[in-house]
């Protein structure tokens, strides 16, 4: 055995474990702190946590190995992760990252010799309206350019703690361009709860039902149905009802703020400037379903929002809007805890999110049972999107009919879109449902728009011929992403980027997604490298079919969407890259020598087979 490098791990982890009360459901939160402390999860820490949390070592290692922001091997003291969304790339991400690496003499994906810095890519960090963006030790850097990166490199070189870096590097703007009833109208904290208490829980559920509010995460399940299923469900264990300490059946309200879909950043803005509305909606939901505890699952990329959000919670507790006897109502108990993710898109899937909340690997569960009957810790749980709760707060305050008067028949209310890419005014736009793509493009200032990726890679690619289509569940459902591409953009590059995204984010549980997303990525790489053939296009279609039908969850089901959509709507972008042959071996003879070239430091003509 190798000598133990961390002989004092017990003492070092003591305070962290103490803060979390030795609770295994907090394993992910604990691992985040260990990562911050050591810049990786040392093997000694895995053993120590396992014994204190009464878990097997393999379970702790399983969780630590699952999340992108945790690492089982050492990372740099400064870990810089460049956001790899297509919009960041359109703004020059690849060149900037190379510039930065050259500046610091470090290779992407590797740790510098002095362990000072490591640089790598990460999935979209939700700063598409102010990219190119990156994270340094988890804190967002926005609007990067060579000058800013010079400064960052210098700060790293002189080992200045990130907390002391100039604030302007971390400035995140809201960029609200078109406010509506959620973002534009004043909201008095407590108004929704007050109306709920006056009206009664049952009548409030009726209002939510009458509003026809549907989930804003994209799937569009009717919120009132979800709430009433949860309200009706009672968790049982061996024939007896599971109750909390007060003798009430336990239920939970969870707010899904794991906004990982590339191109989506509207929850970021709701949480930074309208958190009261979101927490109010959760509290209304708690009253309706009879929950006493709520969680906000905040994606790791938004850790900078943790402190401000906790301040909002504290203020609400002081105002009697959270805690015991809310607004003086005897027995109305509800409080909210914030959990941070650690870089896993799959945790946006509600059952994977629940697993992650329980401190486990974010693996989607088998369904049925659904979370509304068996969710967090096996208890009935409502999981709703940030924006859904914000809408619910408004509905509680103003009534269902008011809400239903906006939008279309099947899509009532408004939708917040996060717009990025080739437009003059990227940012946040709130529209009544039913707005056409064309109108949106006009508002955000586009010239020559050629295509829009609606609802991110898992959504729909809309070509210029379809700009008359409407944002609505009836036509183009969306979680909010709206990425614009102008005529000069190569659409293949977007599909290629998205194929890499899904391969990186597949959880690995089911065969079709674990292997299929890899195969898709490799074929797209082959085509990008100029080795593609018509047979590869057929293979992509076939893979898309397998992914779409055989996968375990929505990630796999939609992982081929961008490739299939692009093949269908922009076939030329693929065909231009193909070799005019029916077969081309996937094995790249010259590529296979890359390792040998890197070892010998050669790149001369004799080191290539062409």
Partner 1 sequence: MSKTITIDGNEIPFAEGQTIMDAAMAAKIYIPHLCHNPEFKPHGSCKLCTVRANGRAVSACTMPAGEGMVIENKTGELDDERRAIVQMLFVEGNHLCPTCEKSGNCQLQAVAYCLDMMSPHYNHFYPPREVDASHPDVFLDRNRCILCELCVRASRDVDGKNVFGLSGRGIGSRLVVNSASGRLGDSTFAVTDRAAQVCPTGAILIKRQGFSVPIGSRIYDHKPICQVETEGKSGGEHE
Q: Which residues bind partner 1 (CB under 8 A)?
A: 1, 43, 47, 56-59, 61-62, 64-68, 72, 344, 361, 366, 368, 503-512, 514-519, 522, 542, 545-546, 549-552, 586-587
125 contact partners, CB below 8 Å, separation of at least 6: 81, 83, 85, 133, 134, 135, 140, 301
CA distance readout (Å), 204 to 208, 209, 338: 6, 8, 26
Residue 583: strand, helix, or coil: coil
Residue (506 or 566) nearer to partner 1, CB: 506
Minimum CB separation from partner 1 for residue 56, in Å?
Answer: 4
Q: Which CB, 587 or 606, lies closer to partner 1?
A: 587
**Closer by beta carbon to partner 1, 56 or else 98:** 56
CB neighbour list of residue 515: distance below 8 Å, 6 or more residues apart: none
Closest approach of Cβ 507 to partner 1, in Å? 6
Between 297 and 509, CB nearer to partner 1: 509
Bridge partners of 419, per DSSP, are 427, 482
- Both tokens of 464, joined, read 């210029």
Q: Shortest distance, CB of residue 546 to partner 1, whole angstroms?
A: 5
Q: Which is nearer to partner 1, 551 or 561 (CB)?
A: 551
Q: Is 427 helix (H, G, I), strand (E, B) or coil?
A: strand
Query: What is the helix (H) or strand (E) element at residue 429, kind and residue range?
Result: strand 427-432
**How near is the Cβ of 347 to partner 1 at its closest, in Å?**
11
Please, what is the minimum distance in Å from the beta carbon of residue 24 to partner 1?
Answer: 13
Least distance from C-beta 163 to partner 1, angstroms? 30
Closest distance of CB 516 from partner 1, Å: 7
Quickly list DSSP for 193-256: HHHHHHH-HHHHHHHHHHHT-B-TTTT--BHHHHHHHHHH---EETTEE-B-TTSPBP-EEEEE
Residue (199 or 557) nearer to partner 1, CB = 557
CA distance to 159, 411, 452, 461, 590, per residue, from 469 (Å): 52, 14, 11, 12, 46
Return the structure tokens found at 529.
């490298």
Q: How far is the CB of 578 from partner 1 (least distance, A)?
A: 18
Nearer to partner 1, 585 or 601 (CB): 585
Nearer to partner 1, 61 or 387 (CB): 61
Minimum distance from residue 365 beta carbon to partner 1 (Å): 9
Q: How far is CA 136 from its chain centroid? A: 18
Which of 459, 441, 410 minimizes the C-alpha distance to 213?
410
Of 72 and 405, CB closest to partner 1: 72
| CB contact at 8 A, 114 and 156 | no
Distance CA 341, CA 276 (A): 21
| Tokens (6 digits) for 444 | 């955000």
């Amino acid at each position: 055995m190798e000598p133990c490098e961390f002989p004092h791990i017990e003492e070092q982890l003591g305070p962290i474990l103490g803060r979390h009360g030795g609770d295994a459901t907090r394993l992910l939160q604990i691992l985040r702190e260990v990562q911050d402390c050591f810049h990786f999860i040392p093997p000694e820490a895995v053993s120590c946590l396992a014994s204190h949390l009464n878990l097997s070592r393999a379970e702790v290692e399983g969780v630590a190995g699952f999340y992108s922001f945790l690492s089982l091997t050492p990372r740099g003291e400064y870990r810089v992760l460049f956001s790899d969304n297509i919009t960041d790339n359109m703004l020059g991400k690849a060149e900037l990252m190379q510039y930065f690496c050259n500046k610091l003499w470090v290779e992407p994906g590797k740790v510098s010799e002095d362990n000072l810095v490591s640089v790598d890519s990460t999935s979209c960090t939700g700063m598409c309206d102010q990219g190119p963006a990156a994270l340094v030790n988890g804190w967002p850097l926005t609007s990067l350019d060579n000058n800013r990166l010079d400064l960052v490199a210098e700060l790293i070189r002189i080992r200045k703690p990130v907390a002391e870096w100039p604030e302007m590097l971390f400035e995140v703007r809201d960029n609200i361009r078109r406010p509506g009833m959620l973002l534009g109208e004043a909201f008095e904290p407590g108004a929704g709860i007050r109306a709920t208490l006056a009206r009664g829980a049952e009548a409030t559920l009726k209002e939510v039902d009458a509003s026809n509010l549907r989930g804003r995460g994209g799937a569009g399940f009717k919120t009132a149905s979800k709430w009433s299923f949860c309200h009706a469900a009672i968790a049982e264990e061996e024939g007896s009802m599971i109750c909390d300490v007060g003798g009430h059946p336990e239920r939970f309200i969870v707010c899904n703020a794991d906004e990982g879909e590339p191109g989506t950043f509207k929850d970021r803005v709701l949480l930074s400037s309208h958190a009261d509305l979101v927490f109010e909606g959760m509290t209304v939901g708690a009253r309706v379903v009879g929950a006493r505890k709520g969680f906000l699952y905040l994606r790791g990329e938004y850790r900078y929002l943790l402190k401000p959000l906790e301040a909002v919670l504290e203020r609400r507790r002081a105002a009697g809007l959270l805690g015991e006897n809310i607004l003086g109502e005897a027995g109305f108990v509800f409080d909210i805890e914030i959990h941070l993710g650690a870089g896993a898109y799959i945790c946006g899937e509600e059952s994977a999110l629940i697993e992650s909340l329980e401190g486990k690997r974010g693996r989607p569960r088998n369904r049925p049972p659904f979370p509304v009957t068996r969710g967090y810790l096996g208890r009935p749980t409502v999981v709703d999107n940030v924006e859904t709760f914000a809408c619910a707060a408004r509905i509680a305050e103003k009534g269902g009919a008011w809400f239903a008067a906006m939008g279309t028949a099947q899509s009532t209310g408004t939708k917040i879109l996060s717009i990025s890419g080739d437009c003059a005014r990227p940012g946040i736009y709130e529209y009544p449902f039913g707005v056409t793509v064309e109108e949106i493009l006009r508002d955000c200032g586009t010239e020559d728009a050629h295509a829009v990726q609606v609802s991110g890679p898992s959504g729909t690619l809309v070509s210029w011929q379809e700009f008359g289509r409407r944002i609505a569940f009836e036509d183009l459902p969306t979680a909010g992403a709206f990425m614009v591409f102008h005529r000069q953009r190569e659409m293949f590059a977007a599909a290629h980027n998205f194929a890499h995204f899904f391969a990186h984010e597949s959880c690995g549980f089911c065969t079709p997604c674990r292997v299929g997303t890899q195969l898709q990525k490799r074929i797209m790489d082959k085509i990008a490298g100029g080795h593609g053939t018509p047979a590869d296009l057929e293979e992509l279609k076939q893979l898309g079919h397998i992914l779409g039908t055989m996968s375990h969850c929505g990630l796999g089901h939609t992982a081929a969407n961008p490739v299939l959509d692009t093949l269908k709507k922009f076939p030329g972008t693929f065909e231009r890259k193909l070799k005019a042959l029916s077969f081309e071996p996937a094995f790249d003879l010259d590529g296979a020598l890359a390792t040998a070239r890197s070892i010998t430091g050669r790149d001369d003509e004799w080191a290539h087979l062409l």
